[in-house]
Structure 1
Amino acid sequence: MTLEFFANYSEQPLWRAEMTLPKIPAAQVEPREDVVVVGSGFSGLNTALHLARGGRKVVILDAEEIGHGCSTRNGGQVSSEIKPDLVGLAARFGETRAMEILRTGVEAHRHLRNFVADEGIDCNYSVCGHFIGAHREDRLQGLEAFGALQRKIGIEAEMVPAARVCDYVSSPQFRGGLHLPDWASVHPGRLLAGLVRLCLEEGIRFVPHCRASAIEDRGDYMSLMAGQVRVRADHLVMGTDGYTDGASKWMRRRVVSLASVVMATVPMDRAEVTRLYPRASMIYDTRLNVTYHRPSPDGDRVVMGTVVPVDTKNLRTCLPRARDNMLRVFPQLAGVPLGHVWSGWVGATFSHLPHVGVKGRMGYAIGYNGTGVAMTSFLGQALARKLLGQPGGETGLDGLEFETRPFFHGQTWYRRPVLALHDVKDRLPSRGATIG
């Protein structure tokens, strides 16, 4: 496969190309602020919105344009998933607390569903169902265990034999799978635009292209640099997830940034897309280096994310392998060019759990481990209520130790060897009731 095949794609995320942000008035950060929110993605917007509705004056800073990060670079999948399983969580916290943590995912999805409806956000929210396909027959045992866990926390889950895979996806790679009919999808860009509109209606100011740095808690106020302006704020919110840098040294030691690449085909005949996705479901495989995909909300493209080694400054170098992954799933797309290719950073944590809390005068809702579309809405509101001293800010994630590791300060050298190890494991027989 030659790079000439990719000559005409755009590196703008499809979601950004298809969204329309409201007009954002010019604003500047002041030397004295009430609440500074760092990051204009889903976490920052949701937290800011509920703080403003609680009477706080809020300014949102972003080092790039509004919503530049993973909020407009993800696949748009909406689930109630919490990454660790019951066995692992119960070994650490006991089964009662483990179930509380897992049910937080269910609560988060329910919250987003109600929030989008109540606020009138037109973001193509659709209960399309998710299908997780076994890329090897021995991964079915892990899917059966995952399905049993979902049923235990109240989520419908159905095992699908190989003969019925075509009901969900026209791909030759799966040996059976698991269907979760209540899981959903959104158009991430349109969700972000709706949140920006709500924030503007509450008088929240936006200052894009203004990097926060030198964040310090001085006890009775937060100190930071906002571009070239020294700012003293009553409170500060970190909503940076995978784009967390060294602005807060404490936070940088706790968030691991992982990259993936997402591709969208050029517009196709809608009937062709429907043949690939008979139920318009979100689709995943059982690899550690996962590939996830869906029809676009408008039904005229295939959108596929895949975990491959990514140089975010030179996407072209990863395209042959990313495209090979696409053709492994859908050989039918061999003659269909790519229209958009982009990358994004996902925030992960050493516990594989999201974290929400208040440390001194700094609040954070961060580290979503790839499950942020629903969780950001729920944790953003919860964090705002914690900062406001209001009831209703409690979550099943409260009080968890926000772990780091010795000598970790946000290094990135480990990514390629870890992906290489995962490639090996994806080719090996399963060791038991696991998915990847």
Structure 2
Amino acid sequence: MNVLLLLLVFALIPQGEDLRELSGLSQEDAASTTDTDSFDPLNPQFKKLLYRTGTVDSAVIREWVTNESTEAISSFATNPADHRFHPVSIDAKVKSIRRFDYPPEQARNFLSGFYVADCENEKGESFALISRSSVASWPVKQSLEEPQSIRFDGFFFASKSVALIGETDSTPIPILVTRRFSWHPERTYAELGVDAAKVALANSGVDISLLDIVKSRKGKSIGSRETVCFWQMLAASKNVRLPADVDRVDFSTMLRSPIESVGSAASVQGRVRQCVPVKVSDPEAVSLLGTDTWYQLTIFPDLKGRPIQVATRDGEHEVYQNAFPVTVCVLNLPAGLNQESIVGNVFLCDGFFYRIWAYPSERTDDSGLYGQPSPLVMASSLTEIESTAGQLQTMLGAMLLAMAIAIGFVGWFVFRSKKAVTRDELPDKIDTW
């Protein structure tokens, strides 16, 4: 019985020619692909493989990968026919990246071109990685200041000279094809938009390249294209506690510079008006988060009487008077509090800014906003702000002193430019679309 079971398990593991099946290409496709000529972006087998990478989930590819296909870049170069179209899962360093665009008659909406990354694996073996996407902040057609760590799942195509239009033929190297690669920067890179917060997220498992997708979703509901990043950031927020000296974006910065602030450390204070537990049904997400429930808090910062104008799609604007919601996602509520008792309290929320999103609202249904815009923050910590009688007296005294100072300097304020913006000032109008 045990022998039969072992034979059955062995039969279910992809072997030899079966490894090619996942690529969707046939034995005839493999036979017609050679390794003696230069790489041709219009090669029909290559285009099939590039298209296939967009339809196969990375997790599925990893299930098919063997130890041999993860390690032996050198064997791809010496015996390419034996590995044709086999699945791969590799950690590598990218040294530079180029872009190829198909001619208009060859381009399709789903595939207008691709990127070619010059890579090395952990053994220092060189190969070319062709990807349908890249990182928006990476320079094209020039070397990166420092090789960047990536991981990808894809397929081996061939061993050829990778010379694009206008380039000189080079030594043949293995060519691997993927839909996309994950990026986990190991230190800050100002020129690539990587600050201390993003390094901390990367060290906690967040694929920083996914932030490009998040940025493209500004002003929309949370969609399926970004769920991986959403879960990764929510999981990371549980473990990451950034030092106090790391710059945080505040409420006004989230509104003024929402795209630039995606993935940045964030801090916002406000009164909790709603707390909703959210159940997670995706088994992979539950495993990543370590729980099947997280909490969505709606808090309202103190706008100090200032209105917020939100631009609508028809060119008009909706005015919010001293009340604008911030959405806070957190895995655990503070000790001693539940979803009812937390409502009404003021908290300082420290964590990471995700993006401005939109959720259904009766008010916005009538105003042309197509959803209530709200900054969304992944909270690492919630600190309750106490309001004792002594603190209230101190605040009252400070307010009286501030009023006296304001009266004394009223002339100076008159001559200030109305366009001057400080960290605490709100923008004149928010364009969430």
TM class by shorter chain equals under 0.3
In the superposition, the TM-score normalised over structure 2's length comes to 0.19
Higher strand share: 2
Bigger relative CO (Cα 8 Å, ≥ 6 apart): 1
Higher helix share: 1
